[in-house]
Amino acid sequence: MDRKNVWKSYTKEQIEELGRINEDYKRCLDLGKTERECVKLTVERLRENGYVSLEERCGSGEALRQGDKIYAVCMGKSVCAFHIGSEPLENGMNILGAHIDSPRIDVKQDPLYESDEFAYLDTHYYGGIKKYQWVTLPLSLHGVVAKTDGTTVEVNIGEKDDDPVFTITDLLVHLAAKQMEKKASAVIEGEKLDLLFASRPLTEAEGLLKDEKHAVKAKVLELLKEYYGMEEEDFVSAELEIVPAGRARDLGIDRSMILGYGQDDRVCAFTSLFALLDVPEVRRTACCILVDKEEIGSVGATGMHSRFFENVVAELTALGGQESELKVRRALQNSRMLSSDVSAAYDPMFAENFEKRSSAFFSKGLVFNKFTGSRGKGGSNDANAEYLARLRKVLDEAGVAYQFAELGKVDAGGGGTIAYIMANYGMEVIDSGVAVLGMHAPWEAVSKADVYEAYKGYKAFLA
């Protein structure tokens, strides 16, 4: 099937709308570099558009009505939002689901140490990364420090123009003969991804004790105390993430693309949010789920495997005056979902890893993956043909550009999403998203046209 480059068909008005959406998308990328930041930003947008928290709504004692807008947050790292439709909830929802965690490097719980008058933070990488891509970059530190007095301090260092940045060092090429003989997976080992944090020692005039052997570490602790009221023991109850420093930028002399961190899967998360906020009154309840932990198996309380979403649906059912486990099960089974996750864009520089007829291309629209998994469809969700036909009709009527693809050649590898988890409820689910170049690299690239088509497609699906 020949899919055309959608840039060729845009009107002036569409290009202007495309520009507005992509500028907003870049702002969201800059403000949402961690799951917590994404949830905070999402809640702000929801409340600006009339959504209230589930706790507020339950406390009001009001029954659920058509047009109500409700959201719920799980531990500050996952969020789901609902625009209640005219049909009963047990008839099912139209659900957009994406993940807001991205590959990165995490700070360990006892991380701060000094070695030969350099201070480092000990780390553990998160998700599937090529470790050698993360060295010698300007890096920033984001997260929270929870203290025993009940307070929580937000940390964000490296994003402002006058902020310091951090880095992970690499061996100079002049001495790297043996290193260069290693396999790519071993060129940089996980235990060598420690963050270079400081090099200036505390002086005696600043209070250095004469028997202090780690003066650089002592200086770091003094600064942490000054800036964040933080003691070394507070690292134990901190969540600190190391991500590339810098904002999302236009890519290409024609400004047709975006280069930014975390576009897997925030390009789908933010376009899903935009679609939910812009959808008018709906017949079937419209829902957007943004979850954590997909990159490591969707585990834990904030991952899709948790009961958080199911529990929220049960709360909504009760608010509707129909508290019933059976009605909750019906609501989930009768739902339809787009598991909004990215796809690998065809890259001419690595053409040997793609089967061209089954590849996703830049600027050819929203990408559907009928099945995911790897090789013999292991770990796959495989959408049924009838659901695909209905989706095609919806998108065709809305004038949305779309394409179908697989993640590389059959035996080249593969990947998974949250689709198979939601399919366990018996609902119809298919993967859909935006094609990405350099997926899981510190900086990933997408087409602005595909961002726009994703927004249009998600909005059409919810309507």
What pLDDT is stored for residue 324 in this prediction?
A: 86
Whole-angstrom distance, CA of residue 264 vs CA of residue 415: 12
Helix extents (H) in 195-335: 215-228, 263-278, 308-319, 325-333
In this prediction, residue 412 has a pLDDT band, given cuts at 50, 70 and 90, of low
- Domain at 104-244: CATH code: 2.30.250.10
Q: Whole-angstrom Cα distance, residue 90 to residue 284?
A: 10
Average pLDDT value for the chain: 94
Helix 448-462 to helix 12-31 angle (10° resolution) is: 90
Tell me the three state secondary structure of residue 191.
helix
Q: What gap in Å lies between CA 326 and CA 372, rounded to an integer?
A: 30
Concatenated DSSP letters of 381-421: -B--HHHHHHHHHHHHHHT--EEE--SSSTTT-EE--SHHH
Q: What is the pLDDT of residues 77-111, one digit of tens each?
A: 999 999 999 999 999 999 999 999 999 999 999 99
What per-residue confidence (pLDDT) applies to 447?
98
**In this structure, which amino acid lies at residue 4?**
K
133, two tokens: 């891509």
Length of the chain: 463
Report the SS3 class of residue 2: coil
Domain residue extents for the chain: 6-102+261-462, 104-244
Q: Cβ-count burial of 136 within 10 angstroms (0-12 exposed, 13-18 middle, 19+ buried)? A: exposed
- pLDDT of 379 reads 67
| Residue (of 98, 103, 127) closest to 433 by Cα position | 98
Decide which of 1.10.3720.10, 3.40.630.10, 3.30.420.40, 1.20.140.10 is the CATH code for 6-102+261-462.
3.40.630.10
**Residue scoring higher pLDDT (146 or 357):** 146
pLDDT score for 207: 78
- Which residue type does 458 have? Y
At 137-167, the pLDDT tens digits run: 999 999 999 999 999 999 999 999 999 999 9
How many Å apart are CA 90 and CA 377, to the nearest integer? 32
State mean pLDDT over 357-380. Answer: 82
CA angle 313, 315, 319 (to 5 degrees): 115
pLDDT above 80 for 372: no
pLDDT at 373: 64
SS (H, E, C) 321-350: CCCCHHHHHHHHHCCEEEEECCEEECCHHH
Instruction: Give pTM, 2 decimals.
Output: 0.95
What pLDDT band is residue 69 in, cutting at 50, 70 and 90? Answer: very high
pLDDT digits (tens, 9 = 90+) for 177-214: 999 999 999 999 999 999 999 999 998 888 777 778 89
pLDDT value at 299 more than 80: yes
SS (H, E, C) 62-104: CCCCCCCEEEEEECCCEEEEEECCCCCHHHCEEEEEEECCCCE
Instruction: Express as a percent the part of the chain with pLDDT over 90.
Output: 86
- Please, which residues bridge with residue 157 across strands? 141
- State which H helix or E strand residue 250 sits in: strand 249-251
Q: What CA–CA distance (Å, rounded) separates 431 from 418?
A: 9
Q: What value does the mean pLDDT take over residues 214-227?
A: 95
Q: Are 128 and 103 in contact (CB under 8 A)?
A: yes
pLDDT exceeds cutoff 90 at 408: no
